[in-house]
Structure 1
């Protein structure tokens, strides 16, 4: 597999950072709901159905899952053929959704929580579909299970050659730092958290667009 341009790698790491911020906002600020991690939502939904969580958690969980899937459908259509234009459009829509979520978060979060869950779920679902089509190893941007598995199972301790270990470690660290930033900014307000994610998303979009153009020229 051809190594993607460095700009694309950096952009995907920035998107991984955004995931940490967004999931901090959703889990800590919107009630045990993941905007990006659907495994967690399915598990929490099971807990709620068993009566271990409030009934509102069932509605919130279904909202998150449905919004994520709707975003993934849109992302799948937009990324049917990967081109600089399709990438810019797809990630531009994600940026727009985050921007709208920032504005919505200026209102009382308790009132607009369902809307925020929908907007963030749409954004993360769209991105997940596009990144899946890019198929760059160890940079899914939304989950780390396979990245952590690869880091351990391909390590010298397991008889492996430690392929792409720097990328794998970087992905783990940036999501950790994103979650740290998101959790810290919650003391300022939900709008501040999502605004920070929007800013980083904008930087990633510029890098992705330029990286995709460079790859297309080659």
Structure 2
């Protein structure tokens, strides 16, 4: 049986920060490496379908690379965090350290790489694969934490719960009458802020590596910050 997950402010703040990182990473993926997503794989499934149909001028290969790398990351994350849990380690830290290492590797690989929208080179796709693997780890971590309203890699459910539990929706199942709307609203704003920051940096002419440096720093800091959080487990 799954234990109740702690929802203290420090954990919520950490997950909201990671949501902002997702927005930044997806801005880089879509605008500087793609068109391709690395965290929101629903977009890649559709891009791949459009590419296979040869409609919309969307190449299928980048989406296929991202999907495969994401799967590998999710498998690796699930296995590593299961081993960590069995040994009594902080499994959340394992996932964050792995994600941080992969984002740092992606930044190093793309350090002097010029952003390119459309027709990505092999090096662009290597960066994409590293980021998608990192986001695979992130999704495992996020799903294990299971913090309501903050999935960190998409905001569709957060927006639905935010509206459904608001004075307009009045749905008790979505927390109407509680303060849950604050966390959900912050998650949506964090994704927007991360995407906006990434887009502005792309517009400023930063290289791919420079664009990913802020994400690498933030995720690395989050990996260190996890030590202050309670142990999370599913025993």
Q: Normalising by the residue count of structure 2, what TM-score does the alignment of the two structures yield? A: 0.84
> What's the secondary structure of 2:34's corresponding residue?
coil
* 1:11–1:204 CA contact under 8 A, matched in 2: yes
Q: Which residue of 2 aligns with 1:40?
A: 43
Partner of 1:154: 165
Residue of structure 1 in register with 2:200 after alignment:
184
For residues 52-131 of structure 1, what are the structure 2 equivalents within 5 Å?
52-54=55-57, 57-80=59-82, 81=85, 85-109=90-114, 110-131=121-142
How large is the Cα RMSD of the aligned pairs? 1.9
Unaligned 5+ runs, structure 2: 115-120
Alpha-carbon contact 2:103-2:130 (below 8 Å) kept: yes
Residue segments in structure 1 that go unaligned for 5+ positions in a row: none
Quick check: 1:51 aligned with 2:54? yes
Aligned 8 A contact 1:79 1:133 in 2:
no
Q: Give the aligned partner of residue 173 of structure 1.
A: 189
Provide runs of 4+ in structure 1 moved above 4 Å: none
Q: Within 1, Cα distance between the matches of 2:113 and 2:170?
A: 53
Give the match for residue 211 of structure 1.
Answer: 229
The offset of 1:111, in angstroms, is 4.5
CA separation in 2, counterparts of 1:90 and 1:2?
A: 17
With 134-143 and 18-27 compared, the bigger mean Cα shift is at 134-143
> Alignment length, in residue pairs?
214
- Does structure 2 retain, via aligned residues, the 8 Å contact 1:84–1:212? no
Q: Is the 8 A contact 2:38 2:131 kept in 1?
A: yes
Task: Provide the secondary structure at the position in 2 that maps to 1:51.
Answer: coil
CA deviation vs aligned residue, 1:97-131 (integer Å, no higher than 9, x gap): 01111110124354411101110000001110121
Instruction: Please name the residue that 1:200 is paired with.
Output: 218
CA drift at 1:84: 5.2
